[in-house]
C-alpha cells in the first residue's frame, strides 16, 4: 500500500483493511494447497480488480466456529485464499459449516464490516 509492505493475519482482513485505511492495496498470498500466488487489487471505491488467478476463492469459517475471545485462532487462521474452489476441498472437509466464495463475491459481503468500523464513534 503506497509502496509499503503491510501484513494481515487472514484473507478477509485484506479485503476489509483498504477501506479502513482509505487506500487501494495490492494483495498477494499463496494458496496453501497448490502454492499458486494469488494477487489482486482492493480499492475502497471500485472493489476487487486484477484478480489472478480469476478462479481464486476465499474461505470463511462457519459462525459456530468463530469465538470472539479467540478471533485469531477461530476466524483468522482458517480464513485463506485458495487458487480454486477445488483446492479448498480439504479445507471444506475440515470446516463443514464454513463457506468458500469467489473473491469478487466476498468483497461486497464483507462491506458491512467496513461500514460498521468506519461509522463507529466508539474509541
Active site residue 2: no
Q: Which of 31, 76, 90, 121 is catalytic?
A: 76
121 domain residue, yes or no: no
42: β partners: 25, 48
d(CA 6, CA 81): 17
My answer on whether omega of the bond before 25 falls inside 30° of 0, hence cis, is: no
11: β partners: none
Containing domain of residue 61, as a range? 11-116
Active site residue 31: no
- Half-sphere CA count of 30, side-chain side, radius 13 A: 4
16 domain residue, yes or no: yes
For 104, the grid coordinates are 469478487
Q: What angle do CA 43, 44, 50 make, to 5 degrees?
A: 20
CATH code of the domain containing 76:
3.30.450.410
pLDDT tens digit string along 75-114?
Answer: 566 679 999 999 999 999 998 888 899 998 887 777 645 4
Phi-psi region of 35 (alpha: psi -120 to 50; beta: other; left: phi over 0): left
Q: Which of 13, 35, 67, 97 is catalytic?
A: 13
22 domain residue, yes or no: yes
pLDDT tens digit string along 20-56?
Answer: 888 999 999 999 999 999 999 999 888 899 999 999 9
Q: How many domains does the chain have?
A: 1
Active site residue 76: yes
Sheet with 37-43: list strands edge to edge. Answer: 25-30, 37-43, 47-52
pTM, 2 dp: 0.80
Q: Which of 10, 90, 97, 121 is catalytic?
A: 10
Amino acid at each position: 500500500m503506497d509502496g509499503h509492505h503491510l501484513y494481515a493475519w487472514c484473507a478477509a482482513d485484506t479485503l476489509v483493511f483498504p477501506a479502513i485505511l482509505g487506500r487501494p492495496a495490492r494483495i498477494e498470498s499463496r494458496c496453501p494447497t497448490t502454492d499458486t500466488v494469488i494477487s489482486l487489487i482492493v480499492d475502497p471505491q471500485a472493489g476487487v480488480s486484477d484478480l489472478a488467478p480469476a478462479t481464486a476463492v476465499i474461505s470463511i469459517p462457519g459462525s459456530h466456529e468463530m469465538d470472539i475471545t479467540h478471533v485469531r485462532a477461530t476466524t483468522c487462521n482458517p480464513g485463506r485464499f485458495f487458487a480454486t474452489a477445488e483446492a479448498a476441498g480439504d479445507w471444506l472437509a475440515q470446516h463443514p459449516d464454513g463457506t468458500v466464495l469467489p473473491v469478487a463475491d466476498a468483497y461486497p459481503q464483507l462491506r458491512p464490516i467496513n461500514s460498521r468500523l468506519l461509522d463507529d464513534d466508539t474509541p
